[in-house]
Structure 1
C-alpha cells in the first residue's frame, strides 16, 4: 500500500473506533483487519501506528482545534498528527490528493485549520495539565493520591509508545535459545532486566508470524505480568487456581513454573475468553490445566473451599497501567466505572479467599495505577478477614528482583520500571489452631 492508502485505512479504522465508543480499540481493530484480509502484515502495522498515535494524542489534538466550529473528524485528526510529526502543509495536501486509494482533497475548512498548526508543538504549556498529559479531568485527584509530586513524570511516561514484551516458555527452551531463534527471524530481542524469563522488542513487530511463537517457545506477555506470576511462587506439587484467567496468559506462565505438574484450574466468567486459552495451551505444550466457567448459582466454589495452595486473583480493574497500549481506555473510563470496579474487586477477593487452604497464599494483582484499587483495597480486605496477613518482605519469593522484595506487595510503572503499570501483593491464610485435648 502507498503511504496515502495507509492513511486512508487509518482514517477508516479511526471512524470505526469512534462509532463504537464503549468497545476497546484493539477489538475494533482486530475485526477491521479480519474483514480486510487483503491488507498485509506490514500495512496493518503501519495503519495501526497512525491510529494509535492519534489515540495517544487525542485530547491535545482536540485542544488545538478548540476554536473550530463543527465536528472534529478522524481525517482532520490524522492530518494534524502528520503535521505534528513534521510534515509540511504541501506534503499533507499531496497525501490528501483524492487519487486512487488516497483520502479525498482537504476542504477549505480543513486546510485553514491545519495551516494554523504549522510551527506549533503538540504539547503546549497553555494546555491544562489533564489535556497535556492525556487523562480525564476527574481522575487528577485520584492520580495525585497515588503519585504525589511524581504525577507529571509518571503520566508523561504513559504517553510513550510501549515496547513489545515476550516470555520464554521454559517447557520448550531457554531464554537464550529463544532470543537466538527470534534474531534469526530479524527480531532483535533483548533480555529484560527484571523478569528472568522476559525478552523485549521495540514497537510493533510481527512476532506471531515467527517460528518461535508458532512452536510455543515464546509468548507475548508484559514483563510486569511475568513478575506477578513470579510472586505467586507456584510449585510443581501445588494445586493452583487462576481465578480471573481470561485467555490464560498467566495460566501459561504458572504451568511453566510448575514444570507442567501439579494441577491448575483456570476460571473466568467469560466463556469466549476461556475458549481462547485452548489454542495457547496446546501451542505451549501445557497439559496440567483444567478450565472452569464461573456461572451464577454455580456450587463449584463451595465444593472446593479451602483446597488450593495458591489462588491468583488478577482482578478486573481500570487498566490505567496499560494506557500506553490502550490509549483509548483513557477516553472511556468514568468515575462510575471506578466505583463499580471497587465493589466488584472486594466481592471477588472475598469469594477467592474462601478457596485458599489454611497455610496457602492468595495473590491479588491489577494492571491499575490507582491506590483505591490496590493498597487501599487490600487494607480493607485485611480488616474484613483476620485470618489473612500480608507477607513480610523477607517472605517474598527469592526469585523476585531484590527491589520488589522490600515488602509483601509491589507496584510497577512505566516510568520507574519500564513495564506496564502493575500492582501485586501476596497474602497468607492462617493455619487453623486446634484446641489442646483436655
Structure 2
C-alpha cells in the first residue's frame, strides 16, 4: 500500500470505531477479518497509527476545538499527521490526492487547519493536566486520590505502548526451551522479572512469526495477569472455579499450575467468550477444564455447589483503568451503561455470590484490572465486614518476592512495575464458621 492508501484505510477504520459502540479491539479484529489479504506490514503500520491517535484523543480534540473544527475522524487524522507525525502541510496535501484508494482532496477549511497547526507540538501550556495526560473526567478524582503526587507519572506511563508478554504453557514446554526458540528467531526475548513463566518481547513483530504461539506452547498474557493467576495457588487434584473467566486466559494459567489434574470450571455469562475459551483449552492441551454458562452471578448452579471448591478466582468486571496502555479507547467509554456506582454494586454481588463456592479452609482471590480504590481495597473491606468467616492472607506471606504498591494486597501499576494495572486480594475461609462454633 502507498502512504495515501494507508491514510484512507486509517480513515475507514476510524469511521467504524466512531460509529460502532463496541471496544476498539473487537471493531479492529472484525475490520481485519474482512480484509484478510492485507499485508502484515500494512496491517502493523495501520495499527500503530490508530493506537497512537487513540492515545492522543483528548489532546487532538483540544487542538480541534481551539481552532473551531469538529472532532471528526478526518480532522482528527489531519491533526495527528501535523502534530503527532510532524508532516508539513504540503506533504499531507500530496497524500490527500483523491486518487484511487486515496483520501479525497483537502477542503479549504482543512487546508486552513493545517496552516494553523504548522509549527505546533502536541502539548500546549493552556491544556489542563487531565487533557495533557488523557485522563477522562469520570476517573480524574479517584485516580488523583489513589496516586497523589505520583498521579502524573502513573498517567504518563499509561500513555506508553504496552509490552508484549508471553506465558509459557508448562503442559507443553518450559521457559528455557521457549527462550532458546525465540532467540533463534532473533526476537530478543527476556525472562519476566516477576512472573516465573513469563517472557517479554521488546521486538515489534507480526504474531504470525511466533511459532510457540501457534503450537500452544505460549499464550499472550500480561505479566500482571500471570501473577493474579499465580496467587490462586491451585495444585494437582484441586477443585477450582474461575468465576468470571471470559475467554479463559487465567483459566489456562491455573490449569497448568494443576498439571492437568483435578477439575477447573470456567464460568461466565457470555456464551461466545466461553466458546473461545474451550477452543483455547484444546489448543493448549488442557484436559481438566470445562466451561459453565451462568445466567447471572446468582445462578442456581452456585447454590447447588456451595462449599465445594478449594479455590475460587473472581476476576471481576471493572472499569479497566489498569489496561489503558493496551486499550486506549477504554478511557473514553465510561464504565458500564449505568456508571461506576452500578459497576461497583455488581462487583459486590459477584464477590458475595462466588464466595459461597469456597469450602471451609479454601481460598478466594478477588481481582480487577482497575486502579480505582473503590473497585479494589474498598470492595474487599466491605466484603470482609459482611463475611466474618473470611480473613485476609497478606501478599507478604503468599508471595513474599513480589514488590507490591500495597502492603497487604497485590497492587501493580505501569509506572512502578511496567505491567498493566492489577489488583488482587487473597481471602481465606476459616476452617470452621465462627457463627456456628
Give the structure 2 partner of residue 384 of structure 1: 386
> Structure 1 residues 175-184 or 303-312, which shifts more?
175-184
Q: Residues 363 and 328 of structure 1: is their aligned pair in 2 closer, same or farther, counting only changes over 3 Å? A: same
Q: Is the 8 A contact 1:361 1:426 kept in 2?
A: yes
> Structure 1 residues 41-50 or 197-206, which shifts more?
197-206
Task: Count the aligned residue pairs.
Answer: 434
Please tell me whether residue 361 in structure 1 is matched to residue 360 in structure 2.
no
Give the structure 1 partner of residue 31 of structure 2: 32
Structure 1 spans left out of the alignment, 5+ residues: none
* Cα displacement (A) at 1:68: 3.5
Give the structure 1 partner of residue 80 of structure 2: 81
Give the structure 1 partner of residue 99 of structure 2: 99
CA distance in 2, matches of 1:233, 1:77: 47
CA distance in 2, matches of 1:117, 1:364: 48
* Cα displacement (A) at 1:300: 1.4
* Cα displacement (A) at 1:204: 5.1
CA distance in 2, matches of 1:402, 1:73: 45
Q: Secondary structure at the match of 1:124?
A: coil
Q: Is the 8 A contact 1:216 1:284 kept in 2?
A: yes
Q: Secondary structure at the match of 1:372?
A: helix
> Structure 1 residues 155-164 or 293-302, which shifts more?
293-302
Q: Secondary structure at the match of 2:425?
A: strand
Q: Is the 8 A contact 2:64 2:75 kept in 1?
A: no
Give the structure 1 partner of residue 141 of structure 2: 141
Give the structure 1 partner of residue 70 of structure 2: 71
Q: Is the 8 A contact 1:163 1:203 kept in 2?
A: no
Q: Residues 203 and 347 of structure 1: is their aligned pair in 2 closer, same or farther, counting only changes over 3 Å? A: farther
> Structure 1 residues 157-166 or 96-105, which shifts more?
96-105
Give the structure 2 partner of residue 61 of structure 1: 60
Give the structure 2 partner of residue 126 of structure 1: 126
CA distance in 2, matches of 1:334, 1:420: 18
Cα deviation code 1:413-436 (max 9, x no counterpart): 110000000001101001116999
> Structure 1 residues 353-362 or 103-112, which shifts more?
103-112
Q: Is the 8 A contact 1:396 1:405 kept in 2?
A: no
Please tell me whether residue 212 in structure 1 is matched to residue 212 in structure 2.
yes
CA distance in 1, matches of 2:352, 2:135: 31
Give the structure 1 partner of residue 314 of structure 2: 313
Cα deviation code 1:92-150 (max 9, x no counterpart): 12222222222122111111112222221112221011111112123221111211111
Please tell me whether residue 159 in structure 1 is matched to residue 135 in structure 2.
no
Give the structure 2 partner of residue 231 of structure 1: 231
Give the structure 1 partner of residue 410 of structure 2: 410
Q: Is the 8 A contact 2:194 2:402 kept in 1?
A: no
Give the structure 2 partner of residue 197 of structure 1: 197
Give the structure 1 partner of residue 327 of structure 2: 326
Give the structure 2 partner of residue 285 of structure 1: 285
Cα deviation code 1:157-205 (max 9, x no counterpart): 1111111111111111111211222233443322211111111123753
Q: Secondary structure at the match of 1:66?
A: helix
Q: Is the 8 A contact 2:389 2:433 kept in 1?
A: no
CA distance in 2, matches of 1:155, 1:127: 15
CA distance in 1, matches of 2:399, 2:289: 23
Give the structure 2 partner of residue 175 of structure 1: 175
Please tell me whether residue 337 in structure 1 is matched to residue 339 in structure 2.
yes
Q: Is the 8 A contact 1:391 1:407 kept in 2?
A: no
Cα deviation code 1:230-275 (max 9, x no counterpart): 1111111211110000100000000111111111011001000000
* Cα displacement (A) at 1:404: 3.9
Calculate the aligned-residue CA RMSD, in Å.
Answer: 2.1
Q: TM (normalized to structure 1)?
A: 0.94
Q: Secondary structure at the match of 2:188?
A: coil
Q: Residues 377 and 62 of structure 1: is their aligned pair in 2 closer, same or farther, counting only changes over 3 Å? A: same
CA distance in 2, matches of 1:138, 1:263: 41
Q: Is the 8 A contact 2:394 2:426 kept in 1?
A: no
CA distance in 1, matches of 2:247, 2:26: 14
* Cα displacement (A) at 1:405: 10
Q: Residues 7 and 310 of structure 1: is their aligned pair in 2 closer, same or farther, counting only changes over 3 Å? A: same
CA distance in 1, matches of 2:14, 2:433: 60
CA distance in 2, matches of 1:287, 1:352: 24
Structure 2 spans left out of the alignment, 5+ residues: none
CA distance in 2, matches of 1:301, 1:127: 50
CA distance in 1, matches of 2:37, 2:258: 42
